[in-house]
C-alpha cells in the first residue's frame, strides 16, 4: 500500500521563477495538507484541500496557491520565487471522516532550492 | 512568534538509558499535542499524542507527560535504542476545530542514542 508520494524530490529554481510541486495522497485518503519546512525549523502549515477547495490556510502570501484534483491528488504552486522560499515542502494526507490530528500521513517531501 | 518551542536542539544518550525530550507552548488554546519522529529523507511519522484532559499517555517505550499549568510537555523514551536516533518534533493543535486540524510544530530535537 503506497503512502504519500511527492514529486519532484529535488529541484533548483532561480529568483522570480515559478514552481509546481505534486502530491499523491495515500490510498483511501481524500484530504491533502501542505507544510513548508525551512532549514533548522519545524514544518509550517501552508494550506489544506478537501473536495477540491482550500479549507484552511496558514500565514503564507498569495504567491502560494494550490489545487486538488478529482482523484484527490494535489499541486502546490509558488510564484515569483524568493530566496526565502528555499525549503522542504511536505505533503500530508488524511481522511476527512477520521477524527484526531494523528491521522496525518506525510510524504518524504520536495526539496526546493532557490538561487 | 514561536507558539511551540523546543529549546534544546540536540540530545545524546547512552543505549538503554532514558531519553527526555522537552517542549513548551505559549498558546493556552491548544488542546491536543503530538510527537512526530523524522528520519533523514523520510517524512515525519506519528509517534504518540495526548489530549489536554490527560496528564500522561503511554505507548510501549514511549510516554508523554503534559503539565497544562506550566504549558510544558515531555516525551520519555525508556529504554532508548540506537534506532530511536532521529529528529523529534513536538506539535500542537486545536482539536475541537475538527478533524485534520492544522498542526503547529516546534523546531525539533535531534536525538542520538549511543550504542
Q: Do B34 and A102 touch (CB under 8 A)?
A: yes
Residue B100 has pLDDT above 60, yes or no: no
What distance in Å separates residue A53's CA from the closest CA in chain B? Answer: 15
3-state secondary structure chain B: CCCEECCCCEEEEECCCCEEEEEEECCCCCCEEEEEEECCCCCCEEEEEEECCCCEEEECCEEEEEECCCCEEEEEECCCCHHHCEEEEEEEECHHHCCCCCCEECCCEEEEEEC
Judged against a pLDDT cut of 70, whether residue A29 lies above it is answered with yes
Is residue A20 scored above 60 in pLDDT?
yes
pLDDT of residue A59: 93
Cβ contact A104–B103 (<8 Å) = yes
For residues B37 and B87, what is the distance between their CA atoms, to the nearest angstrom?
6
At A60-103, the pLDDT tens digits run 999 999 999 999 999 999 999 999 999 999 999 998 887 666 67
Share of chain B above pLDDT 90, in %: 84
Task: Count chain A–chain B contacts defined by CB atoms under 8 A.
Answer: 71
Place B21 in a pLDDT band, splitting at 50, 70 and 90: very high
Q: What is the pLDDT of residue A26?
A: 95
The span from the CA of A89 to the CA of A36, in Å, is: 5
Least confident of A90-99, B40-49, B72-81: A90-99
- Mean pLDDT in residue range B93-115: 85
Distance between CA B103 and CA A15 in Å, rounded? Answer: 29
User: Has residue A52 got a pLDDT over 90?
Assistant: yes
Amino acid at each position: 500500500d503506497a503512502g504519500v508520494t511527492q514529486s519532484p524530490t529535488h529541484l533548483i529554481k532561480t529568483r522570480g521563477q515559478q514552481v509546481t510541486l505534486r502530491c499523491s495522497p495515500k490510498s483511501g485518503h481524500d484530504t491533502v495538507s501542505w507544510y513548508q519546512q525551512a532549514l533548522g525549523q519545524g514544518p509550517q502549515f501552508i494550506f489544506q484541500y478537501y473536495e477540491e477547495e482550500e479549507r484552511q490556510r496558514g500565514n503564507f502570501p498569495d504567491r502560494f496557491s494550490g489545487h486538488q484534483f478529482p482523484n484527490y491528488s494535489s499541486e502546490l504552486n509558488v510564484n515569483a520565487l524568493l530566496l526565502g522560499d528555499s525549503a522542504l515542502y511536505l505533503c500530508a494526507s488524511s481522511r476527512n471522516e477520521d477524527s484526531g490530528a494523528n491521522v496525518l500521513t506525510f510524504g518524504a517531501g520536495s526539496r526546493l532550492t532557490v538561487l | 512568534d514561536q507558539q511551540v518551542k523546543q529549546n534544546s536542539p540536540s540530545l545524546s544518550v547512552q543505549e538503554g538509558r532514558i531519553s527526555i525530550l522537552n517542549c513548551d507552548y505559549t498558546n493556552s488554546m491548544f488542546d491536543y499535542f503530538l510527537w512526530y519522529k523524522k528520519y533523514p529523507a523520510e517524512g515525519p511519522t506519528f509517534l504518540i499524542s495526548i489530549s489536554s484532559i490527560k496528564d500522561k499517555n503511554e505507548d510501549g517505550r514511549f510516554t508523554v507527560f503534559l503539565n497544562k499549568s506550566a504549558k510544558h510537555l515531555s516525551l520519555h523514551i525508556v529504554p532508548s535504542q540506537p534506532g530511536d536516533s532521529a529528529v523529534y518534533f513536538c506539535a500542537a493543535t486545536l482539536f475541537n476545530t475538527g478533524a485534520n486540524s492544522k498542526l503547529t510544530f516546534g523546531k525539533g530535537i535531534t536525538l542520538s542514542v549511543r550504542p
